[in-house]
Amino acid sequence: MDIHEFQAKELLKRFGVNVPRGGIAYSPEQAVYRASELSGDKWVVKAQIHSGARGKAGGVRICSDEREISEAAQWMLGRMLVTHQTGPQGKLVSRLYIEEATKIAQEIYLAFVLDRKEERVVVVASAQGGMEIEDISANEPDSIIRSVVDPAVGMQAFQAREIAFSLGLDPALIPQAVKTITGCYRAMAELDANMVEINPLVVTQSGEIMALDAKMSFDDNALYRRPEISELRDKSQEDSRETYAEDRGLAYIGLDGEIGCIVNGAGLAMATLDMIKMAGGEPANFLDVGGGASPERVLMSFKAVLNDRNVEAILVNIFAGINRCDWIAEGVIRAYRELDLKMPLVVRLSGTNVEQGRRIIKDSGLPIITAETLVDAANLVVNAWKDTKPAQKGAA
């Protein structure tokens, strides 16, 4: 789960990380009022969306008076802001963060990430802040500092000092840097975060170390024990297809194709996606219906798949161990009738009660295509999908 910049800053502030003063605004008038509360002569208006590279898309503006603040707020609010991370659909700007402007002397990149290979938290830092880590890696690879944290002892002060000195900071700033680095690590460890990124972490002209931007993401599986973090979720920033499925206990990931997939087991689901591509199609999603799927759960899975308007055919691929093929078949029949399905549907069943499941589908009298192997199922669904596109087929 991702959160907004202002939320991340509030969390990091609790752990001793210095951040600029700021406030949330939901209208141009409120944005102007927030700036007046902060005083000063320059302010930064920031669109709050779950994406980086907001500045390049016009989502971060430095303003010098009330008119500029109002104009920036009017332009941003209600807009689908498109960055290279959001995709062409963009993300809706429904709130702004108004922050006092900071006079910058130096910019630094600082991030804490989970390295699956190391099975450790790794600190990634660079004296070349203000850029995406990919750009830093491409343009200044020698500037990247990596430091692995031993989970048995956590981030130690000496390790934080080594990182700070490696960044070329003035010795007088080292205590502040150590406090910032250890604070970020504590926030990550104590809040079950997967990632903490500050870009840029700046040294101000007055000699303070301050987080000008902040991103945090959290382990979804740990949210049950972090209700204060779970409350920060903004569903408007998430894929509506994935949100619908997650709220119903389904493992779903939206993709860009036209063939919807309802499968049980992550491994079988991945194999199904591969076979669809090998057959010449494009999967529209990854959906693991899970074990012990009832007819009602199968129906919910169909609804989740059909929330994607790009879906033009569906493949159900079930290997029943804990599941039962007759339950799956009942769910498929119910979904077909209740949802008035008009698109091609291919069902491949194997495992527990497979004969009963196949009989239920056959006796239904519905135009459901059945297959015995995954290869056959993939070819059948791709061919059936292509047959619904006569103009495209003729052009080929």
At a CB cut-off of 8 Å and minimum separation 6, what does 243 contact?
235
To the question of whether residue 285 is assigned a binding role by annotation, the answer is no
Can you read off the two tokens belonging to residue 315? 């493949």
221 among the known binding-site residues? Answer: no
Enumerate the β-bridge partners of residue 23. Answer: 98
pLDDT tens for the 396 residues of the chain, in order: 999 999 999 999 999 999 999 999 999 999 999 999 998 899 999 999 999 889 989 999 999 999 999 999 999 999 999 998 888 889 999 999 999 999 999 999 999 999 988 889 999 999 888 777 777 888 878 889 999 999 999 999 999 999 999 999 999 999 999 999 999 999 999 999 999 999 999 999 999 999 999 999 999 889 999 999 999 999 888 878 888 888 888 889 989 899 999 998 889 999 999 999 999 999 999 999 876 678 888 999 999 999 999 999 999 999 988 778 999 999 999 999 999 999 999 999 998 999 999 999 999 999 999 999 999 999 999 999 999 876 444 443
Check the annotation: does 46 bind a ligand: yes
Is 264 known to sit in a ligand binding site? yes
Instruction: State if pTM tops 0.85.
Output: no
Task: Respond yes or no: is residue 252 known to be catalytic.
Answer: no
- Is 102 labelled a binding residue? yes
Q: Are strands 259-263 and 215-218 parallel, antiparallel or unpaired?
A: unpaired
Determine if residue 204 is labeled as part of a ligand binding site: no
Contact 61, 93 (CB under 8 A): no
246 is catalytic: no
Q: Which of 264, 243, 263, 265 is nearest to 254 (CA)?
A: 243
Q: How far apart are CA 388 and CA 257, in angstroms?
A: 15
Q: Do 201 and 180 touch, CB atoms closer than 8 A? A: yes
Domains of the chain: 21-100 (3.30.1490.20), 104-230 (3.30.470.20), 240-395 (3.40.50.261)
For 396, counting Cβ atoms within 10 Å of its Cβ (0-12 exposed, 13-18 middle, 19+ buried), the class is exposed
Of the residues 97, 109, 185, 244, only one is catalytic, namely: 109
List 5, 197, 312, 330, catalytic entry: 197
Helical pair 295-306 and 240-247, crossing angle rounded to 10 deg: 170
* C-alpha separations of 78 from 35, 93, 264, 343 in Å: 20, 5, 39, 35
Question: 139 labelled as ligand-binding?
Answer: no
